[in-house]
Amino acid sequence: MEKVISIVGAGGKTTLVHKLAREYHRRGKGVLVTTTTHMYVEADTDLSCDFFALRDKIIKDGYCMAGQKISEQSKPKMCGLPYDLLDKLIKDMPQALDYVIIEADGAKHHSLKYPAADEPVIYPLTTDVIIVLGTWEKGKLCKDVVFRYELMQNELGMAEDVVVDDSVIDMLRQVYVKKLRDSGFEGRISTYYR
């Protein structure tokens, strides 16, 4: 196992998850994609939660997106694999599974997010966290583009008319870093501005 990467924040997490997975797979690495929150089920996603089926798919294809189906909408959603199953895949497949990439936060399609007390949801064996921050809505009011803006306003005492700029984006990055460190995460933290 090279890395377990958890992707948090807003504004392009799923896109980055798949971009990293494609790049590692292109390099001949074994990749598993899952979530600790919710993701849309994509074509060829394994929802069996069966160790042997997941193992065989990773060995055969070098790639697997997996989770547990939780909804039957037109675009069904999934939650992540049970931690004991994910632990077993990581520990029992050292030759075939190089990267686990986890979408570990939700933002309901917002470009920026202020995390709640129980967010992000970091899998215990995570080695690296990437904070995704969307920058394309600079100049707009925070209340219109930041997911959980009311919480941010209450906790930080922000005015109603605060506009997204570099200082707001950096403040959100710092909030994530502090939360991760306060939760005991000791791994590498990096930021991806989109």
Kindly report the pTM of this predicted structure. Answer: 0.94
Question: pLDDT band at 95, cuts 50/70/90?
Answer: confident
pLDDT band at 100 (very low <50, low <70, confident <90, very high): very high
Please give the full DSSP string across 95-158, using - where no structure is assigned: TT--EEEEE----TT-SEE---TT-S---TT--EEEEEE--TTTTSBHHHHEETHHHHHHHHT-
Residue 86 amino acid letter: L
Predicted pLDDT of residue 34: 98
Q: How far apart (Å, rounded) are the C-alpha atoms in residues 111 and 11?
A: 4
Give the whole-number percent of the chain exceeding pLDDT 90.
88
Closest CA to 34 of 50, 23, 19, 18: 18
- Residue 11 has what pLDDT? 87
pLDDT of 102 strictly over 80? yes
At residue 22, the pLDDT reads: 96
How much is the pLDDT for 75?
Answer: 78
Confidence band of 159 (pLDDT split at 50, 70, 90): confident
Range scoring the smallest mean pLDDT among 22-26, 155-159, 175-179: 155-159
Question: Tell me, what's the pLDDT at 73?
Answer: 72
How far apart are the C-alpha atoms of 139 and 142, rounded to whole Å? 9
Residue 132 amino acid letter = V
